[in-house]
């Protein structure tokens, strides 16, 4: 698979994502549902702690990609992020940089503020599309 970044402006790169990517030569495409800060039984974890919830949601996203598809975070081509407090989520986006930066992966993403998520107590949800 070959990825070509499309960035007519560079401001998004400073935030860790490309405006678009051209994906060529892929053979598999995986769409992951939203991952949150829940344990293996689906119980919410880290109430009131955005940073810990983001970290666990990323762990869960990585587990879904690896377990189900044999892919990793570097194969992600698109992220959708939902947060009950956008400002607090952005304060903790270094967690995304720490995961995606070493992989030289800056998938296009959208961050939306929402009034709540499906399960009370959850603050952050991340969905992804991956390809290889």
- pLDDT for the residue 43: 96
Tell me if 33 is assigned to some domain: yes
Q: Which two tokens stand for residue 119?
A: 């399960």
Count the neighbouring beta carbons within 10 Å of the beta carbon of residue 37: 27
Residue 21 lies in a domain: no
CATH number at residue 78: 3.30.1330.40
The answer to whether position 99 is within a domain reads yes
What average pLDDT does the chain have?
Answer: 93
pLDDT tens string 30-84: 889 999 999 999 999 999 999 999 999 999 999 999 877 789 999 999 999 999 9
Confidence of residue 16 (pLDDT cuts 50, 70, 90): confident
Give the whole-angstrom CA distance, residue 3 versus residue 24.
7
Name the pTM for this structure.
0.87
How many folded domains does the chain comprise?
1
- In this structure, are residues 78 and 107 in contact, taking their beta carbons and an 8 Å threshold? yes
Confidence at residue 14, expressed as pLDDT on a 0 to 100 scale: 85
């Amino acid at each position: 698979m070959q990825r070509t970044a499309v960035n007519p402006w560079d401001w998004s790169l400073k935030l860790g994502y490309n405006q678009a990517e051209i994906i060529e030569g892929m053979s598999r495409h995986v769409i992951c549902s939203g991952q949150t800060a829940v344990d293996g039984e689906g119980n919410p974890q880290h109430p009131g702690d955005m940073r810990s919830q983001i970290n666990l949601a990323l762990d869960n996203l990585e587990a879904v990609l690896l377990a189900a598809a044999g892919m990793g975070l570097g194969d992600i081509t698109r992220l959708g992020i939902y947060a009950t407090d956008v400002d607090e989520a952005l304060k903790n986006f270094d967690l995304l940089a720490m995961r995606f930066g070493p992989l030289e992966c800056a998938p296009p993403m959208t961050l939306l503020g929402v009034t709540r998520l499906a399960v009370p107590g959850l603050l952050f949800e991340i969905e992804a599309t991956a390809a290889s």
